[in-house]
Structure 1
Amino acid sequence: MVLEDCRDLVRAALVIQNWYRRYRARLRARQHYALAIFQSIEYSDEQGQMQLSNFFSFMLENYTKTNNEDSALVSRLFDNRRRESKREEYVGLIDVPDSYDGPRLQFPLTFTDIDVLLRAFKQQQILHAHYVLEVLFEAMRVLKQMPNFSHIKTFPAKEITICGDLHGKLDDLMLIFYKNGLPSGTNPYVFNGDFVDRGNNSMEILMILLVCFLVYPTDLHLNRGNHEDFMMNLRYGFTKEILQKYKLHGKKILQVLEEVYTWLPIGTIIDNEILVIHGGISESTDLNTLHQLQRNKMKSVLMPPMLVNQEPEVKRKKSGSANIEPGKVKLDKSPSEHLTKHEWEQIVDILWSDPRGKKGCYPNTSRGGGCYFGPDVTSKVLNKNQLKMLIRSHECKPDGYEISHDGKVITVFSASNYYEEGSNRGAYIRLSYGTSPQFFQYQVTSTSCLNPLHQRVSAMEFSAFRILKERMIARKTDLINAFHLRDHSRSGKISLAQWAFSMESILGLNLPWRSLSSHLATIDSSGSVDYMSSFDDIHIEKPMKDMKSNLIETMYRYRSDLKIIFNIIDSDQSGLISMDEFRTMWKLFNAHYQVHIDDSQIDELASTVDFNKDGNIDFNEFLRAFYVVHKYEKPESNFA
């Protein structure tokens, strides 16, 4: 009897154990799908950002062909970035009032200033603009003396720590310093780019890293990432953060920061064996070229190199959009201000590329910049340069790091909870001479991180499907047309396979649509999809009652691009753009992207949002008129 009871208990325990394993596996699968959505949309946005370079090339193509008004506008986009900032014109004119109770820095900086800054930022204090500019100018002075690649050595008794993307997440940097110690002569660090954007504390992270660099210039190394780029900052938040925190002097800070970025080293080489760069490599990566080029000429990946006094040589892409050959445009600039096309492509590759398991080197279609490189490319480039390993960042990984290409490529990503609370761990690497890399993982905890796993996965899932629905509503007309092509009987339903094909063909996100379908549409018992149900709980607001849906969707889809262009044109940061400037900007934008919106519609729209009829448009208010309304704002407790 006792033996039989024991057997029953064991069977019950096995049943529970198997159920729990299946339950955990389902949760992990849901978490995986949510991460796939976040990453796919992130890369799609970056692809859109990279495509802006084609638009700017198109504008330059029209530089000498447009009328005076258009030419003046285009000139403002490109000719206002030539002048070097002078220290006395910025720092000397900004006083720190006695009433300021934030951190005060003493130059030359010492370890005490690092401590002062960390304590102040923990208390959410703001560093005064005077000190921000002092730090930027001093950092630029030191950075100008550095080579393109920092060469450093480790010893058995002196390890070095390598950190990946931080993206404005101050809590992660504080946790790294708590666990691993502050930078010092005996505790060196490499921070491998993407210090800024996305997070709310990019300025604080940048100031901490630059102050540490100025105190320990030979022991703290800063590599440039693809977000150390003023054009990226316009889209991904750092520009907005600066202008909000420094309303009076934000523009000055942005101008100097743009120069600082260009002087950041583009890589680090450790023990002549390990190459540390932000993105990756391509089959044409040439370290000799990268060592010798003038890195400060790379103002932005989105501003391809241009030469002077030559007629534009226009090439047409298969899509029909104009693509100008870099180095073929007539501009009133010195040739010495630009990289060659080859040099420019070399930097784009090391800032934007990603490793993949497939052999070869092929275009990075997800991001739109750089390439995908396979294990054979890694071996070829490392062997050619007598290196053993590539350490890079650039990609969020669930565990904070990933080893690929037979151990020759390591990805490290230091921003935990990057997409959503609980979405991923952060990590850093410690290297010592002659030993294998050591990996340290962490996750900044908050109240939500302490929730049960199913609640955290549900919250992630909700956020992921929310942004995916926003992407769908921005292409609603195109999606409906694609559905109608397959709905021959006009029943309002198509097969799951047809629905999935339509979604991918229009959105191009490379997602497992069949697995995601139950979250995005209603599916009947026969497996047919009610495709219009995909849009039931979401719509775009519109500023005019009779606006056509294609105009609404176009404005919403391109709102980030339009805002970037506006912010460049709005050189005095007034927040206003004239009606004529708006029409000119839209005419060029419309011609390049071929969105086929009538000028009359744009005129009517612009006139409607010119509320006080003064001939100016508050462009930020204009874009806010197009926003997505969600029927459900909170995740349901039984979201499964």
Structure 2
Amino acid sequence: MGCNSSSSVGVKKSTQAIRAAMIIQNWYRGYSARLKIRQRYALTIFQSIEYAGEQCQLQLSNFFSFLLENYANMQENDPALVNRLFGCTPHDKVRQDYIGLIEVPESYSGPRLRFPLNSTALPTLIEAFKKQEILHAYYVLVVLFETKEVLKQMPNIVRIRTGPTKDITVCGDLHGQLEDLLLIFSKNGLPSGYNSYVFNGDFVDRGKNSIEILMILFVSFLLYGDDLCLNRGNHEDFLMNIRYGFTKEVLSKYKIHGKKILEVLEEVFSWLPLCTIIDDEILIMHGGISESTDLNLLHKIERHKMKSVLIPPIPLEGDSAADFKKNKARKTQGMRINGSPDEHLSKQEWEQVTDLLWSDPRGKRGCYPNTSRGGGCYFGPDVTANFLSKYHMKLLIRSHECKPEGYDISHDGKVVTVFSASNYYEEGSNRGAYVRVGFNTTLQFFQYQVTNATCLRPLHQRVNTIESSAIRILKERIISRKTDLIHAFQLQDHNKSGKISMGQWAFSMENVLGLNLPWRSLSSHLVLTNEDGYIDYMSCFNDIHIQKPVKEVQSAVIETLYRYRSDLQIIFNVVDSDHSGLISMEEFHSMWKLFSSHYHVYIEDSQVDELAKRMDLNKDGSIDFNEFLKAFYVVHKLDKTEQPNTDPA
């Protein structure tokens, strides 16, 4: 009897332990699921704001089209601006003019390259970059000229084959994150005749080591060109580089010869192939396709004419704006400026390349405008299936979108997205990945994450960090539209109580900001809600404001300049062709006139002029426009220190 009693007690304890374990397990699963949801919402914020930034960037194409409509006056009043915008300077830079007078001093302690390159060049370069050494401008320019000459001999669509003992590794966006590239090489081996790679665009921008990545990739290409392919991405574009950091990086690292490097890079980028085909079965492009994507046409396009997606096809000299609009679909023969011919793609060709670099797959059938990015299209599974059937292929591999796990498979397994920049938005936000294509189209996926000390923190701490960063940039977006948001809230607030329902608040936020976010779920981070569920809409702006360089200026003016600061900076950098960082008051006034008339931004000239004069600290008649824009930054009251805002896109 004692035995039976003891046994029953043991069973009871065991049952209780199992129940306790199940309760703990269920709690942890729920806890982990909630953390994952928070992480997903944070990534959605990052991506929505990133795409909104790209949408603004592509809308500059409309601005440049507006300039074309005023082309006759522009050519007469500012031929230098026309030359800079529309590529009217000679395409082929003369090598000797760029590197002939540059010497590498004996005191230079960085890596030295010998030409023609040998197999020691790549490991030498990598070891130097690990030590944060800067490659001398002479070597950079020689590598760029050598790369351009080889690229000019390549077709738009490169074909490469696997073999029984030869796999091909496909890498997605790197965005200047050198640590990710080095980690890939550590795991997968350096490029060689036995280790083939396809790098699928977006090598530059956002990260701090874009020029180092380019040098590694270009040196690898010069050494192993038959086994290393470089596709063009939407960020291999000089106007994108102005907005997203690469131009600034080059000018910072190469203060004397930076302008030369950027000019040659503009040409190198234009010669990058558009896509790669493996074994006649797998098409690799940066963005995607559309229902009108035509490989036969893409094969014939003179790709080097596409200097930037933001520069549309232009009319011949003497064509009126009306004639150009009427005949936009025709192939332009180029225009002549000061007797120097310059060629451009036709509208159809331009759209083919834009779709290839900017499009994204979606689950909805058909092909429709990519409203998030503002360029390219969304293409559905039926578009993919029809395209693959037409060209007798099996698979599309593309990049262009950050994925939490570094890769994603969609359209019934027919579209693979691979993204190789880990921690893209914030440390711990996503993994990077690459895909290895084997003989007979077998795929292997490899994930990784560059691990710093903070990545070792518990999941909840990492999610808190990612979430806080996402909410921060979202609030900056909110404050830039403060006047518009208040107007929208007040339209909903019929009783003038300062409070509206959750539905009214969410509708107003989406209507003004257009970010397609789960506003109800995010409301607890953004506004105060009373016990009845009504929102105090002015609490959106409680802990954040835009720094005002001039106290007397209206808030609406400050918000407008803050909202368009990136666009203004791009236009300024185009005007500032010598990259001096200075612009005359007259140039600034002319630039603002063009910008405000096209964007329908109604601000009194006197207010803008007053701001510019305040920034002309030494009263020499010119302003440092970059400093002018830095004067407008968001102040978070909860920050320990006030720091200038960085564009998250």
Between the aligned partners of 2:444 and 2:53, the Cα distance in structure 1 is 33
The residue matched to 2:635 in structure 1 has which SS? strand
Q: Does residue 1:129 correspond to 2:137, yes or no?
A: yes
Moved more, 597-606 or 285-294: 597-606
- Return the offset for 1:65: 3.9
Residue of 339, 345, 351 corresponding to 2:345: 339
Q: Deviation per CA, 1:569-620, whole angstroms, max 9, x where unpaired? A: 1111211101111110000000000011122222222222222222111111
SS of corresponding position for 1:216: helix
Equivalence map 1:197-346=2 (5 Å): 197-314=205-322, 332=337, 337-346=343-352
Instruction: Say whether 1:477 aligns with 2:483.
Output: yes
Alignment of 1:97 onto 2:105:
yes
Match of 1:528 among 515, 531, 534: 534
- 3-state SS of 1:419 partner: coil
Retained in 1: the 8 A contact 2:547–2:633? yes
Does residue 20 (structure 1) correspond to residue 38 (structure 2)? The answer is no
Match of 1:349 in 2: 355
TM-score (norm 1): 0.96
Residues 545-624 of structure 1 aligned to structure 2 (within 5 Å): 545-624=551-630
In the TM superposition, residue 435 of structure 1 has moved relative to its aligned partner by: 4.2
Counterpart residue number, 1:376: 382
Question: Could you tell me the TM-score, scaled by structure 2's length?
Answer: 0.94
Deviation, 1:71, is 6.4
Residue equivalent to 1:542: 548
For 2:440, the aligned partner's letter is G
Task: Classify 1:346/1:59 alpha carbon distance in 2 versus 1 (closer, same or farther; 3 Å).
Answer: same
Shift in alpha-carbon separation, 1:400–1:235, aligned structure 2, 3 A: same
Choose from 187, 190, 201 the match for 2:198: 190
**Pair 82,302 (structure 1): closer, same or farther in 2 beyond 3 Å:** farther
Structure 1 residues 597 and 316: alpha-carbon distance in aligned structure 2, compared to 1, 3 A threshold: farther
Tell me whether 1:407 sits opposite 2:413 in the alignment: yes
Structure 2 equivalent of residue 177 of structure 1? 185
In 2, distance between residues paired with 1:461 and 1:400? Answer: 19
3-state DSSP of counterpart to 2:500: strand
Q: Give the conservation status (yes or no) of the 8 Å contact 1:469–1:538.
A: yes
Q: How many residues align?
A: 631
Worse-matched range after superposition: 77-86 or 387-396:
77-86
Deviations along 1:466-500, one digit per CA (max 9) or x if unpaired, are: 00000000000000000000011111110000000
Q: In the TM superposition, what whole-angstrom CA distance separates every residue of 1:405-444 from its partner, at most 9, and x where no partner exists? A: 0111000000000000111111101111214211001111
Secondary structure of 2:120 counterpart? helix
Deviates more, 1:36-45 or 1:615-624: 615-624
Q: Distance in 1 between matches of 2:512 and 2:472?
A: 18
2-structure distance, mates of 1:51, 1:358: 25
1:151-166 to 2 correspondence within 5 Å? 151-166=159-174
Which residue of the partner structure matches residue 17 of structure 2?
A: 9
Unaligned runs of 5+ in 1: 636-640
> Are 2:501 and 1:516 equivalent residues in the alignment?
no
Q: CA deviation at 1:165?
A: 0.4
Give identity over the alignment, percent: 67
Distance across 2 between alignment mates of 1:44 and 1:314 = 31
How far 1:323 moved relative to its partner?
13
Secondary structure of the residue aligned to 2:170 is strand
Query: What SS class does the counterpart of residue 40 from structure 2 fall into?
Result: helix
Q: Deviations over 1:128-162 (max 9, x none)?
A: 00000000000001010101111111112111100
Deviations 1:352-411 (CA, angstroms, capped at 9, x unpaired):
000000000000000001000000000111111111110000000001100110111000
Whole-Å Cα distance in 2 between the matches of residues 360 and 474 of structure 1? Answer: 35
Residue of structure 2 in register with 1:625 after alignment: 631
Aligned match of 1:466 in 461, 465, 472? 472
Q: State the SS of the aligned residue for 1:93.
A: coil
Corresponding residue to 1:440 among 443, 446, 451: 446
Instruction: Show the counterpart of 1:638.
Output: none
Given that residues 88 and 340 in structure 2 are in contact (C-alpha distance below 8 angstroms), is that contact kept between their aligned partners in structure 1? no
Match of 2:646 in 1: none
Separation in structure 1 between the aligned mates of residue 323 and residue 367 of structure 2, nearest angstrom = 24
Match of 2:126 in 1: 118
- Partner Cα distance (1:107, 1:257) in 2: 19
Kindly report the root-mean-square deviation, in angstroms, between the aligned alpha carbons of the 2 structures.
2.0
